[in-house]
Homo-oligomer: A and B are copies of this chain.
Amino acid sequence: MSRYVPSSELIERAARGETAAIGRLISRAEANMPEARDALAAIYQRSGRAHVIGLTGVPGSGKSTLVAALTQRFRAQGQTVGIVAIDPSSPYSGGAILGDRIRMSDLANDPGVYIRSMATRGAMGGMARATLDAVDILDVGGFHTIIIETVGVGQDEVEIAKASHTTIVVSAPGLGDEIQAIKAGMLEIADIHVVSKADRSDANRTLVDIKQMMTLGAASSAKPEWQVPVLGVSSYSGEGFDDLVTAIAGHRAIAFKTESGRKRQLSIANFRLQKTAETLLIERFIKASTSFVPSIADRLLRREGNPYALASELVAKSLQ
């Protein structure tokens, strides 16, 4: 094991782009180490340059392959790329996700690319909070573009994809319930819709379906300066990636330079503030409630009260 390096020292190293320091700072953010908070605060103050892209889609939509292909394009333009993958099956690494990670390995030896998987453990707002801290760290580490990749299942994951300058929703042809999935909550969050596997014959059907849904949902998802594109791409043939890179650059300009971009950033700040507050709140509650829990749990077991009444009593006692 390497020696413990103070977080303040890690900041300076991370700012010089040392990936070992970046990795350690992200681990401290992920572990919610209170002694790392001053460092994370300092990092926040220095962050704000990178373009943050949230990329989401249901399992099987080809997200990771798309992230890898997109990263190669950015690299060809001389941009460095940080990738934060939120892996719901971590630490257990279920089949599909593990497969995705392996495809990522093509990029793993490029010093201009940093890939990090975040665990979804220790929820309580922790995942969103830690992810946004990791984005700051990569930002200060000098990465030009940061991609947050999340599986588009679960409210938290979708919310994190939204907590970016530019949100890309990936759909694949022939997934059946895919369209339902998009209807169920991902349609309105997309700044760019991508249909992957566009080399397949049924991809066009999916493109048409998404465009049609967007027409129906136009009133609710109107974005004044931005017409949400629906793009077919094939990571296999390379088809569509020029358009995708152009669309991303176009949306980036809006994110950084317009009033609606500022509003979006304000709603991200809002989300971040609340998630961080929930982490602190639960932390404080757990600390304060420890001494009261055993006797109240015992009363619950004896049915001398019900879960809601006794939990309410516990909260009241803990916050006194």
A contact set with B: CB distance below 8 Å: 37, 40-42, 44-45, 48, 58-60, 88-95, 98, 120-125, 129, 132-133, 152-156, 175-177, 180-181, 184-185, 262, 265-266, 269-270, 272-274, 276-282, 284-286, 289, 293-294, 296-298, 300-301, 303, 306-312, 314-315, 318-319
Q: Which residues of B contact A59 (CB under 8 A)?
A: 89, 94-95
Q: Tell whether, in the assembled complex, residue B154 and residue A121 are in contact, meaning their CB atoms are under 8 Å apart.
A: yes
Beyond A60-B95, A273-B314, list 8 extra A-B contacts (CB 8 Å).
Answer: A37-B308, A59-B89, A92-B185, A123-B123, A269-B301, A270-B293, A274-B293, A281-B281
In the complex, what's the smallest C-beta–C-beta distance from A138 to chain B, in angstroms?
16
What is the minimal beta-carbon distance from A278 to any residue of chain B, in angstroms?
A: 6
A315 contacts across to B, CB distance below 8 A: 277, 280-281, 284
A263 to chain B: closest CB distance in Å? 10
Check A311 against B277 for contact (C-beta < 8 Å): yes
Which among A94, A123, A309, A319 has the greatest number of chain B C-beta atoms within 10 A? Answer: A94
Select from chain B the residue with minimum beta-carbon distance to A132: B307
A308's nearest neighbour on chain B, judged by CB, is B37
- Contact, CB under 8 Å: B154 / A88: yes
Contact between A280 and B308, CB atoms less than 8 A apart: yes
With a CB–CB cut-off of 8 A, which chain B residues contact A98? 177
The answer to whether residues A92 and B40 also contact, given A273-B300, A276-B311, A289-B277 and a CB cut-off of 8 A, is no
Bound form: Cα–Cα A185–B285 in Å:
26
A59 to B: closest C-beta gap in Å: 5
Q: Is the CB of B266 within 8 A of A177?
A: no
- B91 touching A44 by the CB < 8 A rule? no
**Do B273 and A121 touch (CB < 8 A)?**
no
Residue of B nearest to A303 (CB): B45
Taking CB atoms, residues of chain B closer than 8 Å to A297 are 266, 269-270, 273
Report whether A177 and B92 are in contact in the complex, using a CB–CB cutoff of 8 Å: yes
Give 8 nearest A-B pairs by CB, closest first. A41-B306, A276-B311, A277-B311, A92-B181, A270-B297, A269-B301, A44-B306, A269-B300
- Residue numbers in B under 8 Å from A181 (CB-CB): 92-93
> Could you list 7 A-B pairs, sorted by A, with CB under 8 Å?
A89-B153, A92-B180, A120-B154, A269-B300, A276-B307, A277-B312, A280-B315
Chain B residue nearest to A129 (CB atoms) is: B307
Q: Which of B41, B120, B269, B319 contacts A319 (CB 8 A)?
A: B319
- Contact partner of A92 among B58, B94, B95, B129, CB < 8 A? B58
Nearest B residue to A59, CB-CB: B94
Q: How far is the CB of A213 from chain B (nearest CB, A)?
A: 15
Q: A154-B121, A300-B272 are in contact. Are A93 and B277 (CB under 8 A)?
A: no
- How far is the CB of A58 from the nearest CB of chain B, in Å? 6
Q: How far is the CA of A270 from the CA of B296 in the complex (A)?
A: 8
User: Looking at the complex, which one of B123, B303, B307, B309 makes contact with A156 (CB distance below 8 Å)?
Assistant: B123
Residues of B within 8 A of A42 (CB): 306
Q: Is the CB of A180 within 8 A of B93?
A: yes
